Structure 1
């Protein structure tokens, strides 16, 4: 029986742990992907200011963008691998020491990923700060812990990605996706 929606998987984990590079490799192998919505928002005018001055507003902007990506037509794709997901928003709020709004919690409970959740752990050898990745190493590790904990709190069991080349990581993900 054909699925009415694609299988939805995600890659979560530390900032600068190679998630976007991995998704670029997966896309190169014909796997549909969803963008990292936080980075997209941060790159827009006022995005960095929103994150700094209104973290709750930033969380809701991420939620809106993630919902749009979730519902985006995928032209018959059987699987979509997202660069982060709804529980990552919870992790962000926890790192900021903020309460989780009921709407974000509700989305995390109701819109469920049915494919594997891959965890890209903090990896010092490849971590680099940039214009949007403003966390220092210790903050990146704390973010990793918070997002993985959030995924687990919503009933997921993240699959640890190997510390390996993007090609090997992409092969690992493809091997763990259902046929």
Structure 2
């Protein structure tokens, strides 16, 4: 049986990684956000922000990594696999910056489907930046809008996770998955 692929989406700094870590601590299989790895690899080669300097190259690498992750999820021995961001995030970010992208991005969105999408809303109080996450709160809100537009445009029903404690957020998600 192929596990259900559950994707956590939201603008930068909405608590996805924290939530994923909490799910992992409860014994669930979780796949981390791959964009940090792509960004860090570029930084080791002297490119501070590959997404800003070569957005199409960055997005190609990201798309490839997310497709690999999609198949990795299918091979895990679990009923549920939680994933920090999905394949459609790539085109949503490209739309955010107004960058054209090849048809293979759109095809990937159509070909690789997820079972459930949980949206973590923008939460001003927890927003912060770091070495890989440079987006301002205003940019994060615009990215969130693109994510919502992209996923709903692909026919996904987004389940909004309430702004509450991490434990309550985990409980909410698990209740939604097991009514």
- Provide TM-score, normalisation by structure 1: 0.92
How much does 1:49 deviate?
3.5
Distance in 1 (CA, whole Å) between partners of 2:19 and 2:49 is 28
Matched, 1:161 2:161: yes
- Give the equivalent residue in structure 1 for 2:176: 176
Q: Secondary structure at the match of 1:80?
A: strand
**1:10-69 Cα distance to aligned partner (Å, 9 max, x none):** 000110000010000011111111111112212222464321211011111111111111
How much does 1:9 deviate?
1.1
Matched, 1:51 2:51: yes
- Provide TM-score, normalisation by structure 2: 0.92
Gaps of 5+ in 2: none
Alignment of 1:24-35 (within 5 A): 24-35=21-32
Aligned residues: 175
Alignment of 1:58-137 (within 5 A): 58-72=58-72, 74-114=75-115, 116-137=116-137
- Give the equivalent residue in structure 2 for 1:142: 142
- Give the equivalent residue in structure 2 for 1:18: 15
Moved more, 47-56 or 79-88: 47-56
Gaps of 5+ in 1: none
Distance in 1 (CA, whole Å) between partners of 2:172 and 2:39 is 30
Distance in 1 (CA, whole Å) between partners of 2:101 and 2:175 is 35
Q: Secondary structure at the match of 2:163?
A: coil
Distance 1:158 1:135, change over 3 A: same
Flag as ranges the 4+ runs of structure 1 deviating above 3 A: 46-49
Measured on the aligned residues, the alpha-carbon RMSD in Å equals 1.5
How much does 1:100 deviate?
3.3
